[in-house]
Amino acid sequence: MRARTLLIIFIGLAMIPLGLSAQNDSSSFQSNYDKFKEQAQKEYDDFVAQAQSEFEAFLAQAWSEYQSFTGQSGAYSKQKPEVVPSVAVQSGIIDVEAPSMDSESPIFENEPENKNSVFDYDTSPSSTIKINFYGRDMVFNVPKALRVSSEGVRERQVSKFYATLHQNDADHILQRQLDEAVGQMGLNEWGYFVLLRAITEKIYAKVNDRVLFAFYMLHSHGFKARVGRGSKSDQLLLLLALDNSKEVYSETFFRINGTKYYALYGNGQKGESVYSYDEKADQSGLKEIGLDFKKSLNIAACDKSRKLHLNKVNMDITLPYSTSHLRYYDEIPTTVFPIYFNTPVSKETEAVLAETIGTLSKQYNKVQLVDIILNFVQTAFVYKIDEQYHGREKYYFPEETIGLPFSDCEDRSALFAWLVKRFVGYDVIGVLYDDHLATAVCFGDDAQLTGRSVTHKGKRYMVCDPTYQNAAIGTVMPKYANVNHEIVKID
């Protein structure tokens, strides 16, 4: 702690203009300053080295056994209906004035696209590896010092592998390349792991070595990652702490020092307990791996398109999508609805949507735009539950709903919510039933709309069900007219 404090003081002093030293003897000031800088850096380096030594010692101690658990299968308590009702086609667009808040213009500006750059680091001595990351060819320089072979899976052997990589001090060269690639492609923190995994599988032939290397890289980069040994398989497993503030469904996990760690890499047997170290200080300063997206995915350009129809305005729209993105999204562990609702489509897809909805906005007000978008999502896609199509529960990100042939209620709700928030600017929430998910939109207090609504934080939200084909704003499926629901906050 003292070393960290000194380093902070040092940084603060570094911001003092050297011109102030004219008030004193400049050479004396500079001399004292340099000595302080050297001492602060030494104490900080000693602090890090001691912490590292202690951690390696914990790894070498006898590990304890932890039992495995499996997360619930999803957010629903009942299976979703295989067939959903529809109402008679209602011609025309809703005839209603937009509320006073309509003075704000819809959002049609596009953010600048992510720019590609070339990795340019001094990596000698190194060797180049090539990977194909969901269809994108990439080249990384991996220092030879990172190619360490483990001696086994026992505690001291794991500790030795970790210590050897740390002593080689070459991981920062690869870390910089990883960080830049993650930024270029718009990956979330989960993407850092899967990119690292792809690189690891090029470097190492043995699975246990891959697990140890991924563990070292993640842990040294500030993520809550652990290594465990299967009680039955005697194989190493990589344990990752995925954002514990959010539910992750259907994945095997272990509770270690109050944190859920998910077994996501290695040759262990499903459901077996694991041995791992007890050390608690390991939690301090490390972060859990997030599944949220902060910007649009940009792994590869859109390579396919899908022609869809907007019934309300009798207009076709051809939306591009990236099959690389669909493959990436498919590997993300199933998690809570807000992450899907808040994830944008690719920039190419967004540009087409912006042009189309921007054109419509010149003729229709914001309430009417919601009406058009709602009917579009209700009628442009074929309904089929996940168990019938995927053989498992799977929630779609909006680009998946556009690109995949079938979708169900939460997939349409995510796409509808994102479209309304992005291009109309209204607030949207989810309305969750035992076996169904709909949405509700806040049009403003003076919106002259009739039908079913829900209240959230003192505001009125009109139910908009993207699955109930041809249903108007404020219409609820008969099955859910008088049953309890749960509000799903999107933000």
pLDDT in tens, 315-341: 999 999 999 999 999 999 999 999 999
Query: What percentage of the chain carries pLDDT values higher than 90?
Result: 75
Range of the domain at 8: 2-60
Average pLDDT over residues 142-148: 93
**Is there a domain that residue 70 lies in?**
no
Spell 25-56 as b/e; 16+ CB within 10 A means b: eeeebeeebeeebeebeebbeebeeeeeeebe
Regarding whether 471 and 437 lie in a shared domain, the answer is yes
pLDDT at position 10, please? Answer: 44
Residue 72 in any domain: the answer is no
Asked if residue 327 is part of any domain, the answer here is yes
Residue 116: pLDDT band (50, 70, 90) is very low
Q: Indicate if the pLDDT at residue 115 is higher than 50.
A: no
- Measured CA to CA, the distance from residue 175 to residue 173 in angstroms comes to 6
H-type helices in 186-278, by residue range? 189-203, 207-220
For residue 57, what pLDDT band results from cuts at 50, 70 and 90? confident
pLDDT of 273 over the 90 cut: yes
Burial (CB < 10 A; 0-12, 13-18, 19+), residue 279, is: middle
Residues 226 and 354 in one domain: no
Residue 240 lies in a domain: yes
Residue 40 in any domain: the answer is yes
Shared domain for 104 and 124, answered yes or no, is no
**Which residues partner with 318 through β-bridges?**
307
Select the more confidently predicted residue: 97 or 420. Answer: 420
pLDDT at 85 over 80: yes
CATH of the domain at 344: 3.10.620
Q: Where among 249, 283, 317 does a domain terminate?
A: 283
Q: How many structural domains does the chain have?
A: 3
Asked if residue 77 is part of any domain, the answer here is no
CB atoms within 10 A of CB 139: 11
pLDDT band at 284 (very low <50, low <70, confident <90, very high): low
CB 463 within 8 A of CB 438: yes
Question: Do 309 and 224 belong together in one domain?
Answer: no
Query: In this predicted structure, what is the pLDDT of residue 4?
Result: 41
Average of per-residue pLDDT across 8-23: 46
Q: Which of 42-51, 87-96, 294-303 has the lowest mean pLDDT?
A: 42-51
Phi, psi of 459 (to 5 degrees): -110, 150
Q: What is the overall mean pLDDT for the chain? A: 88
Greater pLDDT, 197 or 56? 197
